[in-house]
Amino acid sequence: MPRPPSCSLKLIIPAGVLFVLLCLVTPFATGLALRSQLSGTLPGTGQPWIGIRMRALTPQVAQVLQLPSTEGVLVDRVYPTSPADRAGLTLFDVIIQVDGQPVATLDGVSTAVRRLRPGDTLLLTVLRPAPTGPTRQTLSVVVGQWPRPGEVRGWTEFRDSAVPYQFRYPNTWFIDPEGAPAEPILLAPPTPYDDFVQFQVAANVPPLEEWYRQVLESARTNNASIEVRNERSVTLSGQSGRRAQLRLVNSQNEETLVELVLVRDATTNFGYFIFLSANPASFPALLANFEEMLASFRIAR
């Protein structure tokens, strides 16, 4: 189930300097995560799960995808190695039938999944966008079980010539394919919350302590409440950095925990901004994943 909009981190780069705004509008900064429904209920409890997130199909999206109507549900995330991924569902598929029955809403698909048990088979009929118009396909999905928060089944190396760093991340996490130096790399674990890890780089950042102070000032300005915990100096990929945990509370009294890491390359004046943002329920387990990701982080030379 989705949670309401909560505190999050948004990055902008005016005049080559990275500023951080902790905003109260959407869980993600770049629009990767839209208000969406998870197909399943609670993780780690034997509940059925197929590994997609969905959103309502708007007239604007239907027009772009050349769909005949807004009937159906848009798939906006398929978690790697999930039952849906193994069955061949892809980003922007539109689910129009479940087990031969038409569905038009998010709840229609979620309800159908909740009625099943792990190991059951679900038939999903989708419209798949194509240059010449959408094609209709029926896919057989073997229902799985919710992964536990922080559960790791393997690791994947992130390397991209467009960004000056590399790291490893759990192979069950969804990664935004649009990452580039001027955009954040966003990774989302399969939890029922809008949890995510973000990597960002910017040029010509201020000295480390000044940059860190700007980040915290922005956080205090843009949240109803902020508590800074466990501030300390760190070294990452041979460069000096600052680290802290932030407890953010928005105007609706919703809490988010953020593990924040800032690293400044003294040679290039590049700043590396890395953080985990998570619901308190899943934060401890995801923090262990985050530590592994940080340990694998390397600045390209």
> Going from the N-terminus, what domains does the chain have, and what CATH number goes with each?
8-34+148-299 (3.40.1000.10), 48-145 (2.30.42.10)
pLDDT value, residue 181: 53
pTM for this entry = 0.80
Displacement of CA 132 from its chain's centroid (Å): 31
Task: Identify the H or E element spanning 220.
Answer: helix 208-221
pLDDT value, residue 39: 43
Residue-by-residue pLDDT tens, the chain, 301 positions: 233 333 434 333 332 333 333 322 233 333 333 333 344 444 556 789 999 989 888 898 888 888 888 889 999 889 999 999 999 999 999 999 999 999 988 888 988 998 999 999 999 999 998 888 899 999 999 999 988 889 998 999 998 888 889 999 999 999 876 655 557 899 999 988 889 999 999 889 999 999 999 999 988 888 889 999 999 999 999 999 999 999 998 888 889 999 999 999 988 999 999 999 999 999 999 999 999 999 999 998 6
Residues 6+ apart with CB under 8 A from 49: 39, 40, 43, 82, 83, 113, 118, 143, 144, 145, 146, 147, 190
pLDDT value, residue 106: 87
Let me know: does 126 contact 96? Beta carbons within 8 Å: yes
